[in-house]
Amino acid sequence: MSTNPAAASAAHEIEHDVHTHPGWKTYVVIGAILTVITAVEVAVFYIPAMRPVLTPILLALSAAKFIIVVMFYMHLKFDSRLFSSVFVTPLILAIAVVISLVILFKVTPLYYPQ
Amino acid sequence: MNHAAALPAEEHFETSTGLNTFKLGFWVFLGSETLFFGSLIATYMVYKGASVTPPYPSQILNIPLTSISTFVLLMSSLAMVLALAGVQRGNRAQTLTWLLATAALGSLFLGFQAFEFTEFYHKGLTLQTNLFGSTFFILTGFHGAHVTVGVIWLLMLWVQALRGRLGAERALTVEIAGLYWHFVDIVWIAIFTLIYLLE
Amino acid sequence: MATAEARVRAEFEPHGGTGIWSWITTVDHKRIAILYYVTSVVFLVLGGIEALIIRLQLAQPNGTVISAETYNQLFTMHGVTMVFLMGMPISVAFFNYLIPLQIGARDVAFPRLNALSYWIFLFGGIFLYSSFLVGQAPNGGWFGYAPLTSKQFTPGLNADFYSLGLQALGVASIMGGVNFITTIINMRAPGMRLMRMPLFTWMSFVTSFLLITALPVLAVALFFLTFDRQWGTNFYQVAAGGDPILWQHLFWMFGHPEVYILILPAFGILSDIIPTFSRKPLFGYAVMVYSGCLIGLISWGVWAHHMFATGLGPIADSFFTISTMIIAIPTGVKIFNWLATMFGGQLRFTTPMLFSIATVGLFTVGGISGVMHAASPADLQQTDTYFVIAHFHYVLVAGTVSAVMAGTYYWFPKVTGRFMSERLGKWNFWLFFIGMNLTFFPMHFIGLLGMPRRTFTYSPDLHVTNLNLSATIGAFILAIAFLLLIVNVLISRRNGAPASHNPWGAATLEWATSSPPPEYNFGRIPVIHNREPLWLPGKEEVVEAAQARPGAIHMPPPSFWPFFTAIGIVGTFALFLTGHWWAPLIGVAWTAIGIVNWAYEPTH
């Protein structure tokens, strides 16, 4: 083990890690972006003209917030892709659970033969 | 103190990927949590509109108030990353300030939730009233329980920082607490849109 | 702080002791594995006794051995025991023992968490069985369908024991899953790339992913049930607009991955044993890995085939019929690869090999009846009959249990340094093989002739009397086979023929270290260059490193806090039984004390 090259790169990686984490400025800018998106969400909610497209817009905006937090505040953009894969794989399953249950309860019953 | 370079590798970083084991394990745990909240959210959506007695969501959900509490939780995430940046630089004052700010904003969010729950109760919505009451309180209640755990965790870190035991070498501890905190935040991002805005 | 040099020169000091306290505080993955194994076998015996009483009741028409209510409790607890208290934990016993040894690690990633998982499992199991003491064991079937479990139809504590007990066991499984995934990704020896790992470790990896994804869904379903029963929420209440089908969806979203949680470790065991006794590398290693991953993935898309009879509509029926048939393909690939591994090999018919070959053949029988249920029109005839019972016992007894028996005979020399008796082993195998088929094969016909499952008796007019009698005789033969296994383990532990470090001439890394392995597993962590480190050139270096005199190795010290915390976690769930909202908070406080002490406990 004493000649394990992985360990050497590990030490390097951890240092590397800290340096490539975004700084104060990025964090504040991201915070501002998140605030703006939330404000837009609430605004869209109150504009009657937006009613027909409310659902897709809100879903897109909250997905954007979700992704920004995960990428920048949780550092997945900068960290090893392994972290992303152990999180995103179950996340995809979770989204699939929501979508498939909604389809099974709300959509497919409409096609039941009368 | 620092003999890391001279020691055999396994003393410090015995991992095949070079990644920290705790951080990796925590990400796996967060992956597991997505399915927990996914199932809760799915149940809420499946039962949307299925309540047979009032009050119904559109009569009772308070969008302006929840927008503010959503904003509070978002800002707590910002405070959290600033605390992490403070720890990583070994800046004790910055660490203390922002850890406390995160915990305070988290507590404020819980305060909003307590207010909201009480208000709903007075308007006749309880766990037992209808399906909306059951699904809403259980989903947001489990989220609130997660926030509570997070606040306690942050306060414990804050006490450690106060005693000078949270230097740059323990940045990873704060980072993992941060992962938990941001996770709770992204769950709320999903809840706010799916439950509050998409009535 | 000691200087680096002093640390390097220091010798390894074992955390000795063999007393009861050393078992309570152990964090050694090998000892925890033994705890898991022994506990699972105890539950196997309990579940087996329940099965035998059921079979006695059904030996003759209009049986009067037990009442209908007792019968309900027995078949429910039989299912719950065999799935949650035997099938899963006995696989986890193998995970615990083998994963670190197969990938060249000294322990799992989180040794104390590992101990915590075990203690939660043990206390959760005891909690479930304590329901018999008050005569209110779970009685709604192992999948506890709503609304049968509601307060209205189950006024007693039966369903509370069920929901709270499973909740505790689920917590343990999620922790285990997190632990094994992290271990496999992060604790491999130098050169042990993912595609060099033994198949057993690969299948454990896929299983762990299923654990961390499927168990949270069950947790949610069980929370709903608990809240419905304790605080009058409406999740499964039809009167309030609730839909009991939601329980079925959530349960089977967990339940079908669960099926593969039970069978994938068995596939891994077979994939390690068959090459050893064929003297050939596993045929199509990469395809075996990918088909295992594919099974894990597709297992998430087939759950509603358990629910065809609920009337899902033609779209859902077609979707789940097709996805269920598709999952037979990667499973079939595995069967053919095992056959191809044996083809042209120098086969040695030792007891582990006999069990493995039997598993391949009999699992295929269960797989084929599974494809029969997959067709939704056929399933409408078969659902809730003994045909289904025949199917899943062929899959779980002839699949999982048989593979576990093979694994027991195969790895016993590694664990104890002694062989199990081959003579008893042959008896064990043939009694198992005959008993298994005599019990479960007639159930295909019993089911097709129309006998529903979960009915405590039947009429002679159904013309299934002789078939049922055959099943009962078979069940007792099967019981003798399991007794022989236990006897063999107990005798061979002290009196078996001594075994070398690699007594079967196997290829994988766990056989490089001595038998039994030292606490630190490997004197030096070997460097791996290929998939068969003990067959290919360089094997001498691997064995030499594994058995080298240990240098300064830091092993985690024993800890009492996992045991303490487990009491708090299971206690939290158990205290829900009191019906007071504040009672579980006592358990929460206890758990918090445990966690704080845990966090501040020195690990160096």
CA angle C533–C537–C540, rounded 5-degree value = 70
Residue partners of C547: CB distance under 8 A and separation at least 6? C501, C512, C513, C514, C523
User: How high is the pLDDT of residue C459?
Assistant: 93
DSSP-derived letter for residue C196 is: G
Strand partners, C418: C498
In a domain, C275, yes or no: yes
Which has the closest alpha carbon to C260: C450, C139, C412, C399? Answer: C399
**A34 with B74: Cβ contact below 8 A:** yes
User: How high is the pLDDT of residue C13?
Assistant: 65
Of the partner residues A89, A101, A111, the one whose CB lies closest to the CB of residue C314: A111
- Alpha helix ranges (H) inside C547-582: 561-574
Chain C residues with CB under 8 Å of B10 CB are: 525, 553-554
Interface test with A, best of C213, C297, C522 (most A CBs within 10 A): C213
pLDDT digits (tens, 9 = 90+) for C331-369: 999 999 999 999 999 999 999 999 999 999 999 999 999
What's the rounded Cα separation, in Å, for the pair A58 and A62?
Answer: 6
User: How high is the pLDDT of residue C8?
Assistant: 42
Q: In chain B, which residue's Cα lies nearest the Cα of C251?
A: B39
Chain B residues with CB under 8 Å of C224 CB are: 43, 138
- The residue type of A111 is Y
User: How high is the pLDDT of residue A21?
Assistant: 72
Cβ pair A44, A58 in contact under 8 A: yes
C211 in reach of chain A (CB within 8 A): no
User: How high is the pLDDT of residue C16?
Assistant: 64
User: How high is the pLDDT of residue C179?
Assistant: 96
Q: Where are the domains of chain B?
A: 23-47+61-197
Sign for the CA dihedral angle at A49, A55, A58, A64 comes to negative
Chain A residues with CB under 8 Å of C219 CB are: none
In a domain, C172, yes or no: yes
- The residue type of C254 is F
What's the rounded Cα separation, in Å, for the pair C197 and C184?
Answer: 9
Place of tokens 């993955």: C29
What's the rounded Cα separation, in Å, for the pair C100 and C555?
Answer: 13
**Subunits with 3+ C-beta pairs closer than 8 A to B:** A, C
DSSP labels, B74-101: HHHHHHHHHHHHHHHHT-HHHHHHHHHH
**Subunits with 3+ C-beta pairs closer than 8 A to C:** A, B
Per run of 10 residues, the mean pLDDT along chain B (length 199 residues) is: 33 69 95 97 94 88 92 95 93 94 97 96 93 95 96 95 90 94 96 89
- The residue type of C219 is A
Of the partner residues C181, C316, C524, the one whose CB lies closest to the CB of residue A104: C316
**A105 with C243: Cβ contact below 8 A:** yes
User: How high is the pLDDT of residue C10?
Assistant: 54
A102 in reach of chain C (CB within 8 A): no
For domain B23-47+61-197, give the CATH superfamily. Cytochrome c oxidase, subunit III, four-helix bundle (1.20.120.80)
Cβ pair C81, C50 in contact under 8 A: yes
pLDDT digits (tens, 9 = 90+) for C264-308: 999 999 999 999 999 999 999 999 999 999 999 999 999 999 999
Provide the shortest C-alpha distance from residue C240 to chain B (in Å): 6
In a domain, C586, yes or no: no
**A97 with C217: Cβ contact below 8 A:** yes
Place of tokens 């027991």: C408
**A1 with C524: Cβ contact below 8 A:** yes
Regions of chain C with pLDDT less than 50: 1-9
In a domain, C328, yes or no: yes
User: How high is the pLDDT of residue C580?
Assistant: 86
Instruction: Quote ipTM for the complex.
Output: 0.93
User: Where residue C309 sits, what CATH number does that domain have?
Assistant: 1.20.210.10
Regions of chain A with pLDDT less than 70: 1-20, 112-114
Cis check: omega of the bond before C518, within 30 degrees of 0: no
In a domain, C163, yes or no: yes
What's the rounded Cα separation, in Å, for the pair B81 and A28?
Answer: 9
In a domain, C575, yes or no: no
User: How high is the pLDDT of residue A3?
Assistant: 38
In a domain, C434, yes or no: yes
- Which residues form the domain of C385? 3-184+200-559
**B31 with C213: Cβ contact below 8 A:** yes
Provide the shortest C-alpha distance from residue C244 to chain B (in Å): 12
Tell me the two tokens of residue C211. 């654990």
What's the rounded Cα separation, in Å, for the pair B72 and B66?
Answer: 10
C236 in reach of chain A (CB within 8 A): no
**B17 with A86: Cβ contact below 8 A:** no
Which has the closest alpha carbon to A12: B95, B12, B22, C187? Answer: B12
What's the rounded Cα separation, in Å, for the pair C260 and C37?
Answer: 20
What's the rounded Cα separation, in Å, for the pair C98 and B70?
Answer: 47
Burial tier of A56 (Cβ tally within 10 Å: 0-12, 13-18, 19+): exposed
Q: In chain B, which residue's Cα lies nearest the Cα of C188?
A: B16
**A98 with B42: Cβ contact below 8 A:** yes
In a domain, C555, yes or no: yes
